[in-house]
Amino acid sequence: MHHPDLVNPLDDTRIDIQTGFTKDSRRLKGDKHQYEYDVVVLGAGPAGEAAAMKLTKAGKKVAVIDPREQVGGNSTHVGTIPSKALRQSVFNLINFRRDPMFTKAMEYKQVPLNEVLAKARQVIRRQVNTHTRFYERNRIDVIHGWASFVDAHTLRVETDDNIFETVTFNKAIITVGSRPYRPDILDFDHPRVFDSDKILQMDYVVKKIIIYGAGVIGCEYASIFTGLGYKVDLINNQNQLLSYLDSEISDAIAHDFRQFGVLIRSNEEIDYLETHDDYVVLHLKSGKRIKSDAILWSNGRSGNTEGLNLEAIGLEANSRGQLKVDDTYCTEVDNIYAAGDVIGWPSLASAAYDQGRCAAAFMVGDSDAEPVSSVPTGIYTIPEISCIGKTEQELTDEKVPYEVGQAFFKHLARAQIIGERSGVLKILFHRDTLEILGIHCYGNHASEIIHIGQAVMKCKSNNTLEYFVNTTFNYPTMAEAYRVAALNGLNRVF
Residue numbers belonging to the annotated binding site: 84, 213-220, 300, 341
Count of C-beta atoms within a 10 Å radius of residue 132: 20
Residue 189's identity, in one-letter code, is D
Contact present, 248 and 440 (Cβ < 8 Å): yes
Backbone dihedral angles phi then psi of residue 168, each to the nearest 5 degrees: -110, 150
d(CA 241, CA 273): 23
Any idea what DSSP says for residue 464? B
Residue 252's identity, in one-letter code, is A
113-137 helix and 80-98 helix, angle to the nearest 10 degrees: 140
- By three-state DSSP, how is residue 98 classified? helix
Contact present, 459 and 471 (Cβ < 8 Å): no
Strand ranges inside 87-152, DSSP E: 141-144, 146-151
**CA distances for 82 relative to 164, 196, 240, 320, angstroms:** 32, 11, 27, 24
d(CA 154, CA 168): 4
d(CA 243, CA 238): 8
d(CA 481, CA 462): 19
d(CA 56, CA 64): 11
Residues 6 or more apart whose CB falls under 8 angstroms from that of 102 comprise: 96
- By three-state DSSP, how is residue 293 classified? coil
245: left (phi over 0), alpha (psi -120 to 50) or beta: beta
Annotated binding site for NAD(+): 213-220, 300
Annotated binding site for FAD: 84, 341
In 3D, which of 294, 292, 298 has the Cα closest to residue 220?
A: 298
> Residues, the chain, total?
494
d(CA 270, CA 368): 48
Residues 6 or more apart whose CB falls under 8 angstroms from that of 234 comprise: 211, 214, 218, 219, 222, 257, 262, 263, 264, 265
Contact present, 281 and 289 (Cβ < 8 Å): yes
Backbone dihedral angles phi then psi of residue 437, each to the nearest 5 degrees: -110, -25
d(CA 112, CA 95): 18
